[in-house]
Structure 1
Amino acid sequence: MPVIWKNRYFWMLPFYVAGAVLAGIFDIARGEVGWQLPVLAVPVLFLLYRSYRIYMARLEDGRSHAEEMASLHLRTIEALALAIDAKDQTTHEHLERVQVYAMEVAKELGLNESEMEALRAASLLHDIGKLAVPEHIISKPGRLTPEEFEKMKIHPVVGAEILERVRFPYPVVPIVRSHHEKWDGSGYPDGRWGEDIPIGARILSAVDCLDALASDRQYRKAMPLDQAIGVVVQEAGRAFDPRVVEVLARRYVELERMAKARKIEPLKLSTDIKIEAGAAPAAGFEGSDKSAASKAAAILEQPDFLSKIAAARHEAHALFELAQNLGSSLSLDETLSVLSVRLKRLVPYDSMAVYIRRENLLHPEFVSGDNFRLFSTLEIPVGQGLSGWVAENSKPILNGNPSVEPGYLNDPSKFSTLRSALAVPLQGVNGVIGVLALYSSERDSFTKDHLRVLLVVSSKLSLAIENALRYRQAETSATTDFLTGLPNARSLFLHLDSEIARCKRSGEVVSLLVCDLDNFKQINDQYGHLEGNKALKVVATALRGNCREYDYVARMGGDEFVVVLPGLDAANAAQRAEHIRKMVLEEARLQTGLELSVSIGSATYPHGGADAEDLLSSADRVMYKVKAASPERLRSQKNWALWQQSTQGTQTIH
C-alpha cells in the first residue's frame, strides 16, 4: 500500500501543500481585512499566472525557433562547404575531419563560446574563395607554376569578402582571411605573424595542413598519418603555432578515431541525366545579341568577389574553347588564326607573333595585329633579342622591351608604338620549338595573370604546333623530294596532266626536258655517296635557277630530272635545253670541282605525245639516244647541233 501511494500519488503532494498554504493565507487575510479583498485577489493572481505561462510559452517557442534556424544555418553552411569541396575534388570526409580536429583542439586551448562557433563555421567555409580560382588551377594534377600560385593566393581574400555579406554573429571572417598566414610571417595574404594571427586561424592552418598531407590529392598520394604529423611538428614555430602543434601531436590518434566515427554522406549530384522538357531560353542560343562589352560591364557592376568568380568562370570557359579549337585542326595557319582571335579575349594585345625555330633561327610563322609587316620579315637568331633570349633560356619574359628585337635598330620608328612585350617558350618533346610573343603599345601592359594564362595556353599550343608541323612534313614529303627539295614524280605527273589539260583548252604548246647525269655512278663509286648527293643538290639548284619563274623543275628519281616549259615549241625548247646544259655543267664544276656530263631529251605536246605518260616516254627515248653517243663528241657544238636535229626528227616521227 505505501508503495502504491508513493508511485501513484506522491507527485500530488506539492500541490496539496501549496493549496494548504494558500488556504491558510486566505483564512488569515479574511480575519484581518474581511473576505471581500481575498476574493478579489483571486482573479488577479490567476491573470498573473496565465500571463506568466503565456510569456514562458512564447519564450520557449522563440528558443525553439532560434535553435531550428541555427540548425538550418549550420546545415546550409555544411551543404555549401560540401559543394565547394566537391569542386576542389577532395574527398567528402575532408571538411568533417577538419572540423572535428579543429573543435577538439579549440576546447583544449580554452577558446570562448564565440570563438568556438566562429571556428566551427570557418572550418567548413575556409575554402569558399576557391570559387574565384579557375578550375584548371584547382584540379591541376602537378605542381603549380609561380603564376598559378599567385592566382591561388587570392582565395582567402575572396572568401572573406563573400562571408562579410553573411554577417555572422561571431568572428568567422578574420579566421577565413588568415587561415594561410604562418607563425613566422611568411604566409599570405597579409603577412601576419605570431599572436597577431587570430587563434582560430592558427588552429585551422595546422589542422588543414595535417589533413591535406594525410589525404589523396591530384598531385600526390596520401602520407601515413604518423608521417604527416611528423611534417607538421617540424613546422612548429615556423608555419604553425607551437601550442596548437603540441595538442595535435599528443591527440592526433584520438582525434582521427573521433573523425572516423562521424561520417557524412557524400554529395551526389544528378549530372548524368538528360532533361527532355523545356523550350529554348529567352536569350536564344549561341549568337545572342548581348555583346562582350555589355557582359564585361555587367561584371564590373558586381561586387568585387563576384567579378572575380565570374572572371574565373570566363577564363575556364575560354581556355576550354581554345583547347578544343587548337586540337581540331592539323593546318598550322588555321590553328594559329584561331589562337589569335581566342587569345585576345583572355590577354589583350596589339600584335602577336608565333616564331618557329629552325636550327638557330626563329622564323615568324604567323603574325597578326599592328606592325605585322615588320614582324613577318624578322629572322631572329636564337639568343638575340627578346624572343631569341626566351628560346635559348626556355624562360618567359613579362613586360619586356620590344625594341631589343633584331631589326629594331634598322628602323626604330617601326617599333615606336610598341612599349611592352610578353613572350613564352613553346616547349616541344625535344626542347623549344618556338616562341609565342604578344606586344602592346602601353608600358607594363601585361600582368602576372596574363603570363599565367599564356603559360597554360603555350603547353597546348606547343602540342598543336608539333602535330601540325609533322602533318605538314608528311604532306610535303608525299609531293617533294627530300634530298633536293624539288617536286617528286607524283607531283610531276599531277602538274603535267594539269598543263596538258590547259593546252587542250587553249590550243597552246608545252615542252618537256628529261635531264640525266651520264657519269653519276662513277662519281658515287669514286668519291662516295655524300659527294654524289651534293652533286644532285647542285644540279637541282642550277636547274631551278636557270629556268623561268613559271617553269616547273622536278626530280623523277635517281639522277634524272624533268623540266616542264609552258609555251615553248620544239625549236625554242632545244635552245633552252642547250642553255640549261651549259649553265648546269658550269655551276656544277665551280661548286663541286667535278666534271659532270648531262644528257637531255625533249618532247613537245601535242606532237610528242597525247598525255603525260606519252610525253615523258618520248623525251626519255631521245635522252637515251643522246646518252648512247660519246661524251667527248657531245661537248662539241657541232655534235650538239646534230643532236638537236635528231631530237626534232624523232618528235616529227611521233
Structure 2
Amino acid sequence: GEVAGGAAALEMPRAAARSLAERRRLLEVWREGSLWSVPYHLAGSALAGLLLLTQPLPVWLVALVGAPVFVLLSRAYGAQVGGVEQERVKAAEVTTLQTEMLEAMALAVGARESGGRPNLHRIGRTARLLGESLGMTADDLKALELAALLHDIGKMAVPDYILSKPGRLLPEEFERLKLHPVVASEIVQRARLPYPVAPMIRAHHERWDGQGYPDGLRGDQIPRGARILAVVDAVDALLSERKYRRALPLGKAIEAIERDAGSAYDPEVVQALREQKAELERVLRDNEDGSKPLPGFLSAIAEAHREEMQVQDLLGELSSTLDIETILPVVEERLQRIVPHTCAALWALKDGRLHLVRACGQWSERFTGAVLEEGAGASGKAALKRSAQVQAPAAGELSCILGNLPQLEGATAIAVPLVSDQGVPGVFTVYGLGRTVFEGRHARLLAAFAPRFASWLESARRYQRAEEQASLDALTGLPNAAGLYLQLQQEIARNARADRRLAVLVCDLDGFKAVNDTFGHLAGNQVLQAVATGLRERCREYDFVARMGGDEFVILLPGIGDESIEDRVRSFGLAVTEAGRRVCGHPVVSLSIGVAYSPADGVVPDELLARGDERMYANKRLRKSRGVVSPDTAHAMYPGL
C-alpha cells in the first residue's frame, strides 16, 4: 500500500500540470496518464526487495536469476510507455482533425457571407496579436485563435434573409440572430477540444456593461478571450463592405470602437487595439493579397449562395404587387444584371397558342399582339415539352415577331415553362443577340425562379379577372367608371413615356330618354348594348371604350393626330346612329362628343374628364341650337368656335 501510494504521489505533480494546462479534472488526467504505471512501481519495488534478500548469495547467482526478470520488466515498461505515447499522438491527431473539420465548416459559413473570401484567418491573426499584447499564455492564445475561426459557425441556424437584411432587424429576427453564439459553442463543445474555446465563443456578444447576449454577463464575468474576440469581430465588421455601407479605413474603425469602450467593450482590450494599430495594418496588408487561389469548395459554396440570393431578390419583387404590367419591367431589369439579354417576353398559353402578356427590353413595342404556336420555336417547345430550352436557336421565333432583321442571325434564347398545379400557364423567355451566350447557371437561375413566378402569375391572373369583373359594366360588358379611371391613369403614364398625345373622348347619347319613353326600357337596354358594340368595333386594338354610367361613354385614343380624330369622331357618330336604327327601325339617337388631350389639357384623369365633359355639353348645346343630328366634328374639338 505504501509503495502504491508513493507511486501515485510521484505521478501526481505531472498529472496536476496536465490538468491545469488542459482545463480537465485532476483525477481524470491521473487515471488516463498515470494509473498504468502503478503496477511497474510495485514490480520494481518487489525486485528491489528481492535483491536485498539475496545479498548473502554469490553475485553470479543473483545476476543469473535477476537479469531475466529485470529485462522482462524493462521491456514491458518500454512497451507500455511507447503505447501511452502512441495514444497521446493519436489523441493529438484526432484533435487536429476535429479542429480542421470545424475550421472547414467555419470557412464554408464565412464563404456564404463574403462571396468566397472569408476573413476568418485575418480575424484569427488579429485576435492573437491582441492576446499576445495582453500577456495571454500559449494555450490561451491557441484557444483564442480557434475561437476567432469558429465563432460564427452558429449562423447556420440563422435564416439567410435575416443575415442579408440591409435594414434594422425586427425584434423577432434579432431574437433568432441571438441564437448563433449558443449554437456555435454547443457545436465546439461536442468536439471536446483540449482548449477553453466554447466559453469564448458563447460570450463573444456579451457587453462590458451587461447589455449583451446570450447570458447578460458584465465586466470580468466575461471570459477574457471573449472580450478580445468581441473587439476583433467588431473591427472586422467595420473593415468589411456591407450592402448598406462602405468599408471603413482602420483608423476610423478604431475610433468607432473607442467610442464604445467601457460600455460595449473592455477598455483594456480597446487600449491594446489602439497600441497595436501599426502591427494590425501590416496584418491587413498581408491579408489583402487576393491572388492566392481559393479552395474549390469555397468558390462553389459562394456561387451557390450568390445564386440563391439572386433568385430571392427576384422573388422579393413579386411580393410587392399583383399588377403584371408594373412588375415585369422591374423583374426584367433585375434579371438583366444576372442573365444578360437583349429582350424578354412573358407568354400566356391559351388554346394551344402562346399569347404575349408583356415584353421588355429592346424592340418590346414590336412584340405587341404577338402569338406563337405551341411547339414552335424555343418558347413553343418549352410549353409543349414542359422543360427549359437553353441556348436554343431563336432567329426564327424572333423573325415571326419582328420581321426579317439582319441582327437576328444567330439569336439564341432560354425559354422556361411556368409549370403550376393547373398545368403550364405560360412561358418566360429571354433572348440574346450576337455574342450573347447563355450558360448553365443562367438556366438554373431561371428554373429556380420559374415555379414561384408561375404561382405568382396564377394569382395575378385571378386578381386581374376579379378586378375586371368588379370594373365591368354588367349590361354592356364594357369597363365601368372604376375600370376607366385605372386605365386612364396607365395610359397617361404610358403616353408620357413615349412622348405621345392621348385623346380622351367624353360621349353622351342624344335622344336616349325618348327611346325609353317610347319603346320601353328593354329596348333602351338593347340600344345601349348595340352602341357599346358599335363603338368597340370602330376602335383600334389598343383603344379603350368604357361606359361611365347611364348613356355616357368615354373613349381613349392613344397617339392620335388632329386629322385622324375628325375621322374617328365621325365614325363613332355613325355607329350610334346605326345602333338606334338596328334596334328601333329608324335613327332615334345621336352622339355629342367632347375631346380633351393629355398633356395639353391635363395630366390627371379628373382634369381630362372634366375638360372633355365641358366640351361635350358645349357641343350638345350648339348642335341643339342648329338642329344637327350627327356630331359636329369641329365643335367637338373646339367648342368655342
Bin of the TM-score, shorter chain as denominator length: 0.3 to 0.5
The normalised TM-score by structure 2 is 0.45
Which has the higher Rg, Structure 1 or Structure 2?
1
